[in-house]
Amino acid sequence: MKIIIFGAPGSGKGTQSFLLIKKKSFCKISPGELLRLELFNKGNLSSKITTFIKNGKLIDDDIIFSLISRYLNSENILFDGYPRNLNQALYLDDNNVKIDLIINITVSFSHIFKRMKYRMVSEKTYSVLDLLNNNVDCIRYKDNDTGFNFLKRIDDKYTIIDKRLNDYNIEIVNILSYYSRSGVFILNVDGNHDINSVYMFIEKNISEFYKKNE
Ligand code: AMP
């Protein structure tokens, strides 16, 4: 089974995919996480990609393809943050990766801005720490369980969020209409609710989809 999870930055897509792979045995392909890992490890590409990520710009398709290609043979894949444009969708077709199901999370702008202002991401595991309810706004937070830091993402800044949202809203229309024309089932999810309710809705619908398509 090959699934794509779509959602604007701050929609909770990363959190939901984290929960899904914990429950089901998916290989998660998230170029954003692979890129942050590259930065964390100070890999060859790090200086090139830092500027792009900091400014909320998409990385060249060729770099993304080279990062994800080794995972495409997996039987069960959850794509998170991919494809970001039509060319990336076509790359999957060219590599015989047929998408079965799309999860499309939509969230209101006000929720997104609030969530991104208060979220932090583990520098190593990429789990998200939500400081919204604690009313704490800091740039570094140590996780005593793992010893790793939770950091503000370099692209979670007000002006950059605005750009990332605009770019997302333009591209997603083309990508969804491409998959809709190809007959892929699109599960629309209202992401304005709490994490658990959103997860239960997605989980229930994926299970039903599995049953129907076994
Ligand atoms: P994300 O973690 O998915 O929000 O991605 C963070 C940043 O990584 C994006 O703003 C882009 O700069 C880059 N990125 C992530 N996924 C892609 C992709 N599929 N294509 C190009 N750039 C990407």
Long-range contacts of 162-171 (CB under 8 A, 24+ apart): 163/55, 163/56, 164/8, 164/9, 164/56, 165/8, 165/9, 165/109, 165/112, 167/56, 167/58, 168/8, 168/9, 169/8, 171/84, 171/85, 171/86
Q: Whose CA is nearest to atom 6 of ligand 1?
A: 32
**So what's the pLDDT on residue 140?**
56
CA 202 – ligand 1 centroid, Å: 23
Residues of the chain with pLDDT under 50: 134-139
59 CA from centroid of ligand 1 (Å): 7
Mean pLDDT of the chain: 86
Q: Beta strand pairing status for 149-151 and 140-142?
A: antiparallel
Report the pLDDT value the prediction gives residue 128, as an integer from 0 to 100: 66
3-state SS, residue 85: coil
For tokens 């015989």, name the residue: 96
Quickly tell me which residue has 């089974």 as its tokens: 1
Taking each helix axis from N to C terminus, what angle separates 46-54 and 31-40, rounded to the nearest 10 degrees? 120
C-alpha 204/C-alpha 186 separation (Å) is 14
- Angle, in degrees to the nearest 10, between helices 31-40 and 61-68: 90
Give 81 Cα–ligand 1 centroid separation in angstroms: 6
Please report the pLDDT score of residue 137 as a whole number: 46
In this structure, the residue with its CA closest to atom 8 of ligand 1 is: 32
Nearest atom (ligand 1) to Cα of 81: 3
Alpha carbon of 160 to ligand 1 centroid (Å): 13
Pairing of strands 149-151, 2-7: unpaired
pLDDT score at 14? 86
Q: How far is the CA of 148 from the centre of ligand 1 (A)?
A: 23
Ligand 1 centroid to residue 177 C-alpha, Å:
21
Condensed to tens digits (0 to 9), the pLDDT of residues 8-27 reads 988 889 889 989 988 778 89
Tell which atom from ligand 1 comes closest to the C-alpha of 36.
8
Ligand 1, residues at Cβ distance < 6 Å: 9, 31-32, 35, 52-53, 56-59, 64, 81-82, 84, 88, 155, 164
Q: What is the pLDDT of residue 213?
A: 85
pTM of the entire predicted model: 0.86
Strands (E) in the chain, as ranges, are: 2-7, 27-29, 77-80, 101-106, 119-122, 128-130, 140-142, 149-151, 185-190
